[in-house]
Amino acid sequence: MNFTYPKNERLKSKTTIGLLFSEGKSVSKYPLRLVYHVGEVEAEEKIKVGVSVSKKYFKKAVDRNYFKRVLRETYRLNKHLLWDNLEGNYSFMLFYQTKDRLSYEEINTKTIQLFEKFLIQLNKTNDSENKTEL
């Protein structure tokens, strides 16, 4: 597995981000939230990911940037969980939603749990869709 986070995997398109907020579904594992949208991604990549930390919780840009770096790093190291189990194109947005200053290790374990919870939820929705088609 390639443990990189290249530019073509970064979520930058305003239209795709707008779709995430209007039509996207979410999964939460305190303090992280993953908003995702299934469908056409505007580039050749299978997955596009963006990160966000609220100004509401961290007033200083230095603090927000630190947690964004940590979120990108935990995604980079654990993206194999998503790449190995997903088919189709996805857009993701990761949010850090607390004023608690968790350590890197805690955020990393929460990211893994969040990805696993997302995959379980995705499998449940796919199973229910398959049953309704029959």
Read off the pLDDT band of 127 (50, 70, 90).
confident
- Reported as a pLDDT band with limits 50, 70 and 90, residue 124 is confident
The reported pTM is 0.89
**CATH code, 13:** 3.30.230.10
Q: What is the pLDDT of residue 133?
A: 63
Is residue 33 situated within a structural domain? Answer: yes
Number of domains in the chain: 1
Q: Are 14 and 48 in contact (CB under 8 A)?
A: no
Asked whether residue 1 is assigned to any structural domain, the reply reads: no
Q: Between 43 and 44, whose confidence is greater?
A: 44
Domain assignment of residue 122, yes or no: yes
State the pLDDT confidence band at 104, using cuts at 50, 70 and 90. very high
3-state secondary structure of 42: coil
3-state secondary structure 71-125: HHHHHHHHCHHHHCCCCCCEEEEEEECCCCCCCHHHHHHHHHHHHHHHHHHHHHH
As beta bridge partners, residue 51 has: 94
Tell me which DSSP letter residue 10 carries. B
Q: Is residue 2 part of a domain?
A: no
**Domain residues for 23?**
7-133
